[in-house]
A and B are shown apart, each in its own frame.
Chain A
């Protein structure tokens, strides 16, 4: 309805007058001018709006548990099938440590690292550190973005501009620039550093190694005219003499050597021979523990032992002897055997003293080992560090002569003996950049942090040995705003093509591509992960001066206690110290976890009653530095020596490692131009301050229980491959003179496994006790890490453990004396896991049937059903069951020690196929049942029978020595059946639980208990003449 406005009403005089001010605001409901924009006080309306939204949001959120990051794929990536893993060949490098790997990726997340069998270098082997490295990817202490100065984060553009400006200024002023790194294995990275150098000609690239082998490089330079380290082939050596070279655990390339060494240690009915290994050392190392004869020496005697060996051999070779030498047990015998095995022997020394290595070279030369067990034509690149260059750099920086320094993925402030001096010197350096992926001890001294990717996020390549190339491909796109260090170098050098991936392919194309289909060739390189080209063989001639070396050695003086610092088998040099998998991996020898200690011989620690790992502190002074550490009494350690592991005392590694122990690098000193990790004239004072070490094993011997460990010596094994076997028999009530095997007596009728019957064989002779399997098991099965206090409470959760036993000299009836290890004990390692007993004592006692037997011989745990009475664990004769005493996941209390189950970043590493166990339930080894299921399903899908070797457990996959064999003992063609020579115990029941083994070495632990395990162990054979009393 239209109404004609006849009358005009007005709201006020303003409207009547229609002033411009009125017109401007006429559309507003209220006449007042609106509040200016910068008025921060929100209006009542805003307040109501926000409150309304807030209330609605909160109440909506409360209606439903929040769904966290469970976003389905809208467009499924081509290669990602939910629940199916992808595998990518890649390369692990950490400084000069190298391993060719296969990365298991689930839904875009790397969750497991395995060895790459296609590699001619590592041949599928891994180490504990390689296995653990996948968790370092999800380290909470990683840098999330580049950083400039004190700011929390900066953009790469800002950082690059500032760095380029400063570098330019340095170039103009002709200042010195240093790129400091550990050994760089990557040829492409080296090429990029060269490009950087071309742009900034005053740049020097300095490589150093945490545990240097510079002395060896120099010795080889003197001996053969080339500063290199040759390849070694332990597999061809019948006699191995090692003077303090821990080649199975830390020395040069342990993964490679472990594999070779194991080949020489394998024995069977057919092959009744094995290598003999003499080992001279001060502290007990993994290699020493595996030796046939371990001779205690002091670190200062290493040179003299080598000289003595030289003289003994020189007498046979008709060469003149040199001055010096010291007689030690077994040296003459070792010399005799070396001489008999010329060309099939190997002498190695761990010393970083050029003089010692020259004499070792002379010995190997005299024995004709070059060309057979030592391959000088295939030099290795693992250790390229130049001690002198690094020392010069630090001194230069201290003198104010260095204008800029780039720390390329290294941390010398922590892990160089002169780190403290370097930290001070850096204050005088104008431009300091670190590319490390976290703000470490060196990073805090740097103004610019340009974090590199984790190795699993990055393209890279490596040349571990001459003509052996390896490619690293990213298994995940970078989690944080990190950038390949190579790209950083190129950007700072002002290059236009900065894509490292393209450069890498270009390089490989230029260097290795011989024509054909480039794409196919590159794909094959990526698929294989390695590219190995033939190496021309060449011979070397020894030209070293043994006499002068001997004189240098003779001048070594020793006084007081000798302190040596060493890498242990867990955190090693400390670069991965923030990895809780390594912190909680028991040291292969001491079995300590989360601990830093000083190892002392029992003779020197008489005042400490080292029971239950309860000990006292000692104060140690050497090289003008005093530290306080708890004492670990180490059988086998040479009296008068003390050892401190490297890798602890981190201050900026992250929550996991910070504050554990002290930094032992400063105890090293320069001897003959290279770092010596021995300090003589040390003093140690026991303090009256108690300390409780966290160790996973406190009883050191196996109490001469023949049913646990069965061992023999080679001389007896040659006559009877069943030597050392303990065959228990029990008398029956029917006829006391008729004794039967305990397995024959049973209340149960047994059952039949109609399909598969899973079993495992573990060779005690090839198991070296390294612990790679333990870490692999932890990662595969989401095993909780529990931290130091819980280990002191003896509650580590490891499903697989390595029992380490020392021999004892006590009589078998001296039950108290049996607990005491011998002064220089023999060592045996026994991997212990759920034995999957056919008559499992755990199964009968569970009131709710939460642990039951599968139709394939597996003893399986149903976590959901478990009510946690722990009766099963009590009744387990092997003590392999682990109880969840607390909620170890999603619990702030364990966040620090178990980030993989307590932080959202860490949880990315979890294996989605394995339940994370909650509080109050029992758990144990499942024989990797998820892998068994996966393998069976695959075969079923392809409508074919399962093939042997398709299913391998995580521990087996990780074992470099092949000591663990898993398979179907129902299948007569399987590897395990053949190895153990399995046949049914009862011909009428081919699928029955009782299986007979024809392998005379095969035994079952605690056979007489009658639980009928599905794991067999093969006896340990030591290559020595007599069984130790």
Chain B
């Protein structure tokens, strides 16, 4: 019987017992996949195969299958890269920063959010890979590996190299952190499998759990490592998107060369990351019937973070406009005039509407506690964040200093296909995760069943 505090709202509703928690979460892993799961997984695989075809065409024929040109050297590729990286921010933020801040409500959502982070970072990393003219060399030439080329070394001045380090570090730490958290839960599934007499599952999950026995000392070490990793991840959450923003901020292109990019990008990343977490969790909670673990209270808290970060992003947009006017630099002025009124004004205004205006609706409690409204707005926010990156990248370079070189960018089927490819990766991985891994951190959730010290 769950004990409910009189003054504190419960984080988990429905008077769950410890056993209920184990059962509710493990049930998904143990049962046969539902028809709905098969359908969703099938769609994901279809997206993945179509995307893989587009990748193949890209690799076989060259970057020319995309719509890029002499002036616009990056468009959808880097837009998607930054977008996915941004999405990949929420997981670690939830598990690391909120852990350090002792925000216990995070415990219901951190597992899925972290998984989402891992998959999003994989998706993101695919773009810097595929966008290279010679991917087969870029794989290792961009790494500072000892080589037989003499003194040939990477260029440590290049923000792209910093990206390589930032993304790979972030990915590694996030992956370890996520897996660490999974270990006790795998052990739970193993133990249940032993009881149920399912030897294969027992063997598999025993391996996955590294033979976790759950001794007090083990738990102590587990918690220390979690704390260390949380400490390591925290600066990474801030650094990754800061460094991604350096790709633009250190350049000489008006619209890119902006000192406010690092905080602006980080806020945007958390903004889009939370939106994506919401999108996914609202579906998961419905499909896996986890309404009592992921409550409206969780959703509301996340929506509040969206209001805050959305407002930061809005202020950043307005600051950019102000500075472009205040600086009296004609190119800077034109770059922003062109965003607002040029041929890509529709993209700019889409961004403004989706990112600045729509999250403000969450000030209204009715909207921020509405599942449907949250779901719709979370998608709108991510559309807006995609446009933000598109606006920054394409509208800045398509008309920069020399007017003779101004061009438009028109995406091709393969630009779209590459984007779809990453959706394929993302959802295929996410559905596999949702089926075979415990989507909620059982070990941690069990610790918050009791919201009072009262014994009963």
A interface list, Cβ under 8 A from B: 612, 697-699, 701-703, 705, 708, 790, 793-796, 801, 803-805, 815-816, 830, 832, 841, 844-849, 865-871, 873-875, 877-879, 881-887, 919-922, 1005-1006, 1009, 1011
30 contacts between A and B (CB under 8 A): A612-B408, A702-B403, A702-B404, A705-B401, A708-B402, A804-B404, A841-B251, A844-B157, A845-B157, A847-B154, A847-B155, A848-B138, A848-B142, A849-B152, A849-B153, A867-B133, A867-B141, A868-B138, A869-B132, A870-B73, A873-B73, A877-B252, A879-B71, A881-B70, A884-B133, A885-B63, A919-B62, A920-B62, A922-B133, A1006-B401
Most A Cβ at <10 Å: residue of B137, B334, B403:
B403
Interface presence of B337 (CB below 8 A): yes
Structural contact, A795 and B69, CB atoms closer than 8 A:
yes
In the bound complex, residues from chain B placing their C-beta under 8 Å from that of A874 are 73-74, 251, 253, 397
Q: Which B residue's beta carbon lies closest to that of A704?
A: B330
Structural contact, B403 and A884, CB atoms closer than 8 A:
no
Structural contact, A879 and B138, CB atoms closer than 8 A:
no
Distance of A64 Cα from B405 Cα, bound (Å): 46
Structural contact, A793 and B67, CB atoms closer than 8 A:
yes
In the bound complex, residues from chain B placing their C-beta under 8 Å from that of A883 are 63, 68, 70, 73, 133
Q: Which A residue's beta carbon lies closest to that of B77?
A: A870
Distance of A874 Cα from B251 Cα, bound (Å): 9
Distance of A701 Cα from B406 Cα, bound (Å): 11
Interface of B (DSSP majority class): loop
Structural contact, A879 and B155, CB atoms closer than 8 A:
no
Structural contact, A877 and B61, CB atoms closer than 8 A:
no
Distance of A1006 Cα from B402 Cα, bound (Å): 9
In the bound complex, residues from chain A placing their C-beta under 8 Å from that of B74 are 870-871, 874
**Cross-interface CB contact of B69 among A793, A920, A921, cutoff 8 Å:** A793
Structural contact, B69 and A847, CB atoms closer than 8 A:
no
Distance of A702 Cα from B153 Cα, bound (Å): 40
The 5 A-B pairs of least Cβ separation, nearest first, read: A868-B133, A920-B133, A885-B64, A870-B73, A794-B69
**Cross-interface CB contact of A920 among B63, B68, B330, cutoff 8 Å:** B63
Question: Shortest CB–CB separation between residue A746 and chain B, in angstroms?
Answer: 13
In the bound complex, residues from chain A placing their C-beta under 8 Å from that of B252 are 841, 875, 877, 1009, 1011
Given contacts A705-B330, A832-B402, contact A845 B64 (CB under 8 A): no
In the bound complex, residues from chain A placing their C-beta under 8 Å from that of B98 are none
Seed contacts A699-B406, A846-B155; 16 additional CB < 8 Å A-B pairs: A703-B403, A795-B64, A795-B69, A815-B337, A830-B404, A832-B402, A866-B134, A867-B137, A871-B160, A873-B73, A877-B400, A877-B401, A879-B70, A886-B61, A922-B133, A1011-B252
Distance of A846 Cα from B161 Cα, bound (Å): 8
Given contacts A794-B70, A875-B252, contact A848 B154 (CB under 8 A): yes
Q: Which A residue's beta carbon lies closest to that of B63?
A: A885
In the bound complex, residues from chain B placing their C-beta under 8 Å from that of A865 are 141, 152
Structural contact, B159 and A845, CB atoms closer than 8 A:
yes
Question: Shortest CB–CB separation between residue B138 and chain A, in angstroms?
Answer: 4
Question: Shortest CB–CB separation between residue B136 and chain A, in angstroms?
Answer: 9
Distance of A705 Cα from B134 Cα, bound (Å): 37
Q: Which A residue's beta carbon lies closest to that of B405?
A: A879
Interface flags for B134-177 (1: CB within 8 Å of A; 0: not) read 11011001100000000011110111110010000000000000
Distance of A790 Cα from B68 Cα, bound (Å): 11
Distance of A793 Cα from B403 Cα, bound (Å): 17
Distance of A832 Cα from B403 Cα, bound (Å): 12
Structural contact, B134 and A921, CB atoms closer than 8 A:
yes
Structural contact, A845 and B253, CB atoms closer than 8 A:
no
Given contacts A701-B403, A805-B403, contact A867 B159 (CB under 8 A): no
Structural contact, B134 and A920, CB atoms closer than 8 A:
yes
Structural contact, B132 and A867, CB atoms closer than 8 A:
yes
In the bound complex, residues from chain A placing their C-beta under 8 Å from that of B71 are 794, 879
In the bound complex, residues from chain B placing their C-beta under 8 Å from that of A873 are 70, 73
Q: Which B residue's beta carbon lies closest to that of A875?
A: B251
Q: Which A residue's beta carbon lies closest to that of B338?
A: A815
Chain B interface, number of residues (Cβ within 8 angstroms): 52
Distance of A99 Cα from B141 Cα, bound (Å): 49
Interface presence of B341 (CB below 8 A): yes
Question: Shortest CB–CB separation between residue A705 and chain B, in angstroms?
Answer: 7
In the bound complex, residues from chain B placing their C-beta under 8 Å from that of A793 are 64, 67, 69
**Cross-interface CB contact of A848 among B155, B247, B250, B399, cutoff 8 Å:** B155
Interface presence of B131 (CB below 8 A): yes
In the bound complex, residues from chain A placing their C-beta under 8 Å from that of B341 are 815-816
In the bound complex, residues from chain A placing their C-beta under 8 Å from that of B408 are 612
**Cross-interface CB contact of B70 among A612, A795, A919, cutoff 8 Å:** A795
In the bound complex, residues from chain A placing their C-beta under 8 Å from that of B334 are 703, 815
Question: Shortest CB–CB separation between residue A674 and chain B, in angstroms?
Answer: 40
Question: Shortest CB–CB separation between residue A205 and chain B, in angstroms?
Answer: 48
Interface presence of B196 (CB below 8 A): no
Question: Shortest CB–CB separation between residue B56 and chain A, in angstroms?
Answer: 15
Structural contact, A847 and B70, CB atoms closer than 8 A:
no
Interface presence of B407 (CB below 8 A): yes
**Cross-interface CB contact of B158 among A816, A845, A866, A1009, cutoff 8 Å:** A845
Distance of A803 Cα from B407 Cα, bound (Å): 14
**Cross-interface CB contact of A868 among B67, B134, B253, cutoff 8 Å:** B134
Distance of A506 Cα from B36 Cα, bound (Å): 95
Given contacts A705-B403, A874-B74, A920-B133, contact A885 B62 (CB under 8 A): yes
In the bound complex, residues from chain B placing their C-beta under 8 Å from that of A803 are 402, 404
Question: Shortest CB–CB separation between residue B251 and chain A, in angstroms?
Answer: 5
Given contacts A705-B403, A847-B158, contact A886 B64 (CB under 8 A): yes
**Cross-interface CB contact of A699 among B62, B155, B157, B403, cutoff 8 Å:** B403
Structural contact, A884 and B155, CB atoms closer than 8 A:
no
Q: Which A residue's beta carbon lies closest to that of B69?
A: A794
Structural contact, B63 and A875, CB atoms closer than 8 A:
no
Distance of A801 Cα from B157 Cα, bound (Å): 30
In the bound complex, residues from chain A placing their C-beta under 8 Å from that of B141 are 848, 865, 867
In the bound complex, residues from chain A placing their C-beta under 8 Å from that of B401 are 705, 708, 877-879, 1006, 1009
Given contacts A871-B158, A879-B405, contact A921 B133 (CB under 8 A): yes
Given contacts A708-B402, A816-B341, A1006-B401, contact A870 B133 (CB under 8 A): yes
Given contacts A699-B403, A883-B73, A920-B62, contact A869 B160 (CB under 8 A): yes
Question: Shortest CB–CB separation between residue A45 and chain B, in angstroms?
Answer: 47
Structural contact, A849 and B155, CB atoms closer than 8 A:
yes
Q: Which B residue's beta carbon lies closest to that of A918?
A: B134
Q: Which B residue's beta carbon lies closest to that of A844?
A: B157
Distance of A801 Cα from B334 Cα, bound (Å): 24
Q: Which B residue's beta carbon lies closest to that of A851?
A: B155
Question: Shortest CB–CB separation between residue B126 and chain A, in angstroms?
Answer: 15
In the bound complex, residues from chain B placing their C-beta under 8 Å from that of A841 are 251-252
Distance of A697 Cα from B74 Cα, bound (Å): 20
In the bound complex, residues from chain A placing their C-beta under 8 Å from that of B247 are 871
Interface residues of B in 338-392 (CB under 8 A from A): 338, 341
**Cross-interface CB contact of A845 among B250, B338, B399, cutoff 8 Å:** B250
In the bound complex, residues from chain B placing their C-beta under 8 Å from that of A877 are 252-253, 400-402
In the bound complex, residues from chain A placing their C-beta under 8 Å from that of B330 are 705
Q: Which A residue's beta carbon lies closest to that of B396?
A: A874
Structural contact, A879 and B402, CB atoms closer than 8 A:
yes
In the bound complex, residues from chain A placing their C-beta under 8 Å from that of B63 are 868, 870, 883, 885, 920
Most B Cβ at <10 Å: residue of A868, A882, A886:
A868
In the bound complex, residues from chain A placing their C-beta under 8 Å from that of B69 are 793-795
Question: Shortest CB–CB separation between residue B328 and chain A, in angstroms?
Answer: 10
Distance of A871 Cα from B142 Cα, bound (Å): 13
Distance of A865 Cα from B138 Cα, bound (Å): 9
In the bound complex, residues from chain A placing their C-beta under 8 Å from that of B62 are 884-887, 919-920
In the bound complex, residues from chain A placing their C-beta under 8 Å from that of B164 are 847
Distance of A314 Cα from B157 Cα, bound (Å): 72
Q: Which A residue's beta carbon lies closest to that of B252?
A: A841
Distance of A874 Cα from B75 Cα, bound (Å): 11
Structural contact, A871 and B73, CB atoms closer than 8 A:
yes
Q: Which A residue's beta carbon lies closest to that of B164?
A: A847
**Cross-interface CB contact of B131 among A805, A847, A869, A878, cutoff 8 Å:** A869
